[in-house]
Structure 1
Amino acid sequence: MSHNSRRHFIKNLAAGTLAGAFAGTAQAQTLLTPREMEGPYYPITPQKDQDADLTRVAGKSGVAQGTHIEIAGQVFDHEGNTVEDVTLDLWQANAFGKYHHPHDTSDAPVDEHFQAWAIIQSGKQGRFRFKTVFPGAYPLNAASQRTPHIHLKASKLGYDSLLTQLYFPDHPLNQKDGLFMRKSAQEQALMTVRRTERENHYLYNLILQKIPL
Structure 2
Amino acid sequence: MSHNSRRHFMKNLAASTLAGAFASSAQAQIILTPREMEGPYYPITVQKDKDADLTRVAGKTGVAQGTHIEIAGQVFDQNMTPVEGVTLDLWQANAFGKYHHPHDTSEAPVDEHFQAWAIIQSGKQGRFRFKTVFPGAYPLNARSQRTPHIHLKATKRGYDSLLTQLYFPDHPLNQQDGLFRRKSVQEQALMTVRQTEQENHYLYNLILHKIPL
Q: Please give the range of the TM-score, normalised by the shorter of the 2 chains.
A: over 0.9
Structure 2: gaps of 5 or more residues? 1-8
- TM-score, scaled to structure 1: 0.93
Please state how far the C-alpha of 1:10 moved relative to its aligned partner: 6.5
Alignment map for 1:138-153 (pairs within 5 Å): 138-153=138-153
Relative to the length of structure 2, the TM-score reads: 0.93
Check conservation: 2:13, 2:186, Cα contact below 8 A. Answer: no
> Are the counterparts in 1 of residues 92 and 99 from structure 2 also a CA contact under 8 Å?
yes
The 3-state SS of whatever aligns with 2:171 is coil
Contact 1:12 1:21 in 2 (8 A): no
Amino acid at match of 2:190: L
**Residue 37 (structure 1) aligns with:** 37
Give the CA deviation at 1:19: 1.6
**Partners of 1:93 and 1:162 in 2: CA distance:** 20
Shift of 1:211: 0.5
- The alignment-based identity, stated in percent, is 86
- Deviation of 1:12 after TM superposition, in Å, equals 6.5
Question: Which residues of structure 1 form unaligned runs of 5+?
Answer: 1-8
Q: Cα deviation per residue 1:152-177 (whole Å; 9 max; x = unaligned)?
A: 00000000000000000000000000
2:27 aligns with 28
Structure 1 residue 13, shift from structure 2 partner: 4.4
Contact 2:90 2:117 in 1 (8 A): yes
Partner of 1:200: 200
Q: CA deviation at 1:17?
A: 1.4
Measure, in 2, the Cα distance between the counterparts of 1:103 and 1:134: 21
TM superposition shift of 1:124: 0.2
1:49 and 2:49 aligned: yes
Aligned AA (1:19): A
AA at the equivalent of 1:146: R
Contact 1:21–1:28 (Cα < 8 Å) also in 2: no
AA of the residue aligned to 2:117: W
Indicate whether 1:179 and 2:179 are aligned. yes
- The count of aligned residue pairs is 204
Deviations 1:123-177 (A, max 9, x none): 0000000000000000000000000000000000000000000000000000000
Counterparts in 2 of 1:184 and 1:141: CA distance versus 1, 3 Å = same
Secondary structure at 2:63's aligned position in 1?
Answer: coil
| Letter matched to residue 197 of structure 2 | E
Q: Following the alignment from structure 1 to structure 2, what is the Cα–Cα distance between the partners of residues 98 and 29?
A: 36
User: Matches of 1:168 and 1:12 in 2, distance apart?
Assistant: 15
Counterpart residue identity of residue 205, structure 1: N
Q: Distance in 2 between matches of 1:27 and 1:21?
A: 13
Letter of the 2:207 partner, please give it: I
1:3 paired residue number: none
Aligned equivalents of 2:69, 2:37: Cα separation in 1 = 24
Given that residues 52 and 131 in structure 1 are in contact (C-alpha distance below 8 angstroms), is that contact kept between their aligned partners in structure 2?
yes
- Residue pair 2:71, 2:131 contacting (<8 A) in 1 also: yes
Q: Within 2, Cα distance between the matches of 1:40 and 1:34? A: 19
Quickly say closer, same or farther: Cα 1:175–1:67, change in 2 above 3 A: same
SS of structure 2 residue aligned to 1:28: helix
2:22 match: secondary structure: helix
Q: How does 1:14-163 map to 2 (within 5 A)?
A: 14-23=14-23, 27-30=26-29, 31-163=31-163
For 1:48 and 1:64, locate their aligned partners in 2 and report how far apart those are by CA, in whole Å: 17
The two structures, once aligned, show a CA RMSD in angstroms of: 1.4
